[in-house]
Structures are given as structure tokens and as C-alpha cells.
């Protein structure tokens, strides 16, 4: 199935939940709204002709230019992309899904952006989402156990965010 036809088909089924697609990139991607993510994923997983039964990775990319000079020239508004890489064991094809959310919910610093958890569809999402929450501060709603996984439980901040600053001290250990 060609890229465009596939996107059209998805759009037909899910309407406005499919926000857009980039078919020019090396790995083409489809953009989904946070509200529609669960339904789309369930469809991708269950539909026999697609059968995306394998979730390679869940991660997020923080789009924020911290340098004020470059920020003026940046071609994007600050936002957060949550990226899902899917694969089908049966058909040996892959797909990239993206969910774009604000860096902070309602633009209040400290309020984590929310994306529904897909751990109910792919068990592996459990740990990937925990890592994503830990390092990038994306809150996956309805996640069975959303705790930090790589950093200590009492760590402050989300290290992979572009505006993260390493704490000067952690339990008496100098940070920088």
C-alpha cells in the first residue's frame, strides 16, 4: 500500500484524529492527536492487514531552542513530539506515529503534558513510557506504574529536555 493511500485510509477511519503525515522523510510518519492515539493504535494492532504487533520504541523529542538568538530564527514553535516506532512480525513492515503535545500542559511550567498510555496494547510500552516520563517528562495517563526508571526516584527535572539544568548537588555529591 502506498504511503498516501494508507494515510487517506486512516484519515477516513479516524477523521480529525489523523492530523497530518510526512511522506518525504527517510522514515515517513503519521501524526495523531493525543485523544485519538489509543483508538488508532488499537486499530493498527488488531487490523489483520496491518498487524503492528511489535512496538520497537516509544520516545519523545523536545523542540525548544534555548539560545535566544537561534530561537528567533527557529522554524518551529516549542513543543514536544512523542514518537512511536511500530513493526509487524507477520508482514515485516514498519510505521512511525507521532503525537505532538505542548511542552507543558496549558503552558504552565511543571504541569506535564499528557498522552494516553499504550501499555495496554503493547506490554513493552510499559518500560519505554516510564523511560520517556523519566527523561523527558511526558505523563502517560492510565499507565500501570508511571515511576522513574533510570533516574533515582527523588531526582528533580527531566534530563533530556533542552532547558534542563544539571543540579549542582545530589545528596551531597557534586553535580557539576
Partner 1 sequence: MVIGVARTDFEKLEVYQLAERLADLTWRIALHWDQMAKATLGGQLIRAADSVGANIAEGCGRGSYGDNRRFAKIARGSLYETKHWLRRAYSRDLLDAGQIEQLRSIIDELAPRLNAYIRSIGRAACNPKTDTTDYGPRTTHMSTLVDDPRVIEFDVRTDEMLVNMGPQHPSTHGVLRLVLRTDGEVVSEVTPHLGYLHRCAEKIGENLTPRQWIPYTDRMDYLAGMNMNLGWSLTVEKLLKYEPPEKGRHLRVIIAEMGRIASHLVGMGAYGLDLGSFSPFLYAFREREKILDLFEEVCGARLTYSYLTVGGATADLPRGWLQKCEAFLEQFEPIIAEYHALLTTNSIFIKRTAGIGVMSPEMAINFGTSGPVLRGSGVDHDLRRDGEEIYTAMYDGYAFEVIVEKDGHYPKDHKYPAVPHEAVLGDCWHRFYVRMLEVVQSIDLVRQAIDRYSTAEGGYGEPRKLTEKLPKGEAYLETESPRGQMGFYLVSDGSSIPWRARARSSSFCNLSVTSDLCRGCLIADIPAIVGSLDIVMGEIDR
Beta-carbon neighbour count of residue 138 at 10 Å? 25
Question: Shortest distance, CB of residue 134 to partner 1, whole angstroms?
Answer: 8
Which of 8, 27, 47, 77 lies at the binding interface for partner 1 (CB under 8 A)?
Answer: 27
Stretch that binds partner 1, among 5-13, 20-28, 30-38, 104-112 (CB under 8 A): 20-28
Quick one: 8 or 157, whose CB is closer to partner 1?
Answer: 157
Distance (Å, whole) CA 97 – CA 57: 11
Quick one: 112 or 135, whose CB is closer to partner 1?
Answer: 135
HSE of 172 in the Cβ direction (CA atoms, 13 Å)? Answer: 0
Distance (Å, whole) CA 153 – CA 82: 23
Three-state secondary structure readout of 43-61: HHHHCCCCCCCEEEEEEEE
Mask for 131-160, x = binds partner 1 (CB under 8 A): x---x------------xxxxx------xx
Q: Which residue has the cell 523542540?
A: 63
Quick one: 54 or 104, whose CB is closer to partner 1?
Answer: 54
Scan residues 100-119 and list those touching partner 1 (CB under 8 A): none
The answer to whether 26 contacts partner 1 (rule: CB under 8 A) is yes
Amino acid at each position: 500500500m502506498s504511503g498516501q493511500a494508507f494515510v487517506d485510509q486512516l484519515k477516513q477511519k479516524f477523521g480529525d484524529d489523523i492530523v497530518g503525515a510526512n511522506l518525504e522523510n527517510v522514515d515517513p510518519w503519521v501524526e495523531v492527536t493525543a485523544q485519538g492515539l489509543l483508538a488508532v493504535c488499537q486499530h493498527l494492532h488488531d487490523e489483520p492487514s496491518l498487524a503492528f504487533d511489535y512496538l520497537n520504541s516509544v520516545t519523545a523529542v523536545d523542540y525548544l531552542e534555548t539560545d535566544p538568538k537561534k530561537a528567533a530564527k527557529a522554524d518551529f514553535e516549542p513543543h514536544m513530539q512523542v514518537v512511536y516506532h511500530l513493526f509487524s512480525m507477520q508482514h515485516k513492515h514498519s510505521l512511525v506515529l507521532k503525537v505532538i503535545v505542548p511542552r507543558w500542559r496549558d503552558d504552565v511550567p511543571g504541569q506535564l503534558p499528557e498522552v494516553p498510555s499504550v501499555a495496554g496494547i503493547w506490554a513493552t510500552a510499559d518500560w519505554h513510557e516510564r523511560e520517556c516520563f523519566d527523561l523527558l517528562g511526558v505523563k502517560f495517563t492510565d499507565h500501570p506504574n508511571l515511576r522513574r526508571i533510570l533516574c533515582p526516584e527523588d531526582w528533580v527535572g527531566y534530563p533530556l529536555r533542552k532547558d534542563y539544568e544539571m543540579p549542582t548537588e545530589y545528596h551531597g555529591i557534586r553535580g557539576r
